[in-house]
Amino acid sequence: MKVPEFKLKQASAVLGVPPKDLQNLVQFGVVRPRRQRNIFVFDFNVLLQAKVALYLRDSLGTSSEVLAAVCAALDRELKKMRSTIRGFQDIYIQSRPRWQSEALEVKIPLKWLAEELQQQLPRAAALKDLPRGRKHPGWKKEIMNALEEASETLAGTSEEEITDTIRKYRSERRKQPEIAILARKKEKTA
């Protein structure tokens, strides 16, 4: 069975992020997709690495250097694991400064992220692989229809309501991620 591979726009649709975000992950060396005739090609493992990187970036605000190190370690682990979703396990990332003896540990729900990614794979079919700069037939009509629908939806909505909605949306995006401290039981060793 051939492993599905996606170009940048298709991969970004699967991940649910703008193409520029995924392009930045590639540009900063966080994920390393295969190159095929000067085009980046993303397979499932690279998409999963990007999903983990986006998960860490959005939840902890992690830097590109740290994300690149995590993805490199994850790449090594993914090569050891079976490539089926049942083969994925939740992983723990441990990081320790050189001068400390105890490590910081972060749990990443890899199995859950892989299942979510698997469910999002059909999104790639929605984006056809058109040559750069070419518009598909009927694109003007589609845009006009979308604008007409939007104007009908906004009919009767005041400018103040629109401004409040935008303000609410922006404030939601600025909220800090939830950080919790959980105590884990240490297993007894004989």
pLDDT tens, N- to C-terminus, the chain (190 residues): 456 788 888 899 889 888 899 999 999 999 999 888 888 899 888 999 999 999 888 888 888 888 888 888 888 888 776 655 566 778 888 887 778 778 788 888 888 888 888 888 887 777 666 566 667 788 888 889 988 988 888 888 888 998 998 898 888 877 766 655 555 666 666 5
Verify that 58 and 106 share a domain, yes or no: yes
pLDDT of residue 21: 92
CATH number of the structural domain spanning residue 27: 1.10.1660
pTM: predicted TM-score of the whole model, two decimal places: 0.66
Verify that 84 and 160 share a domain, yes or no: no
What separation in angstroms does the CA of 32 have from each of 18, 61, 123, 188? 18, 20, 22, 40
Verify that 144 and 115 share a domain, yes or no: no
Verify that 164 and 97 share a domain, yes or no: no
Asked if the structure places residue 158 within a domain, the reply is yes
Residue 99: domain span? 8-126
Asked if the structure places residue 133 within a domain, the reply is no
Structure tokens at 8: 């940048």
Verify that 73 and 159 share a domain, yes or no: no
Asked if the structure places residue 118 within a domain, the reply is yes
Structure tokens at 82: 């079976």
Residue 26 CA to residue 17 CA, distance in Å, equals 14
Verify that 43 and 93 share a domain, yes or no: yes
Phi-psi region of 171 (alpha: psi -120 to 50; beta: other; left: phi over 0): alpha
Verify that 109 and 46 share a domain, yes or no: yes
Asked if the structure places residue 51 within a domain, the reply is yes
Verify that 62 and 153 share a domain, yes or no: no
Residue 174 CA to residue 81 CA, distance in Å, equals 36
Verify that 27 and 100 share a domain, yes or no: yes
Residue 47 CA to residue 11 CA, distance in Å, equals 7
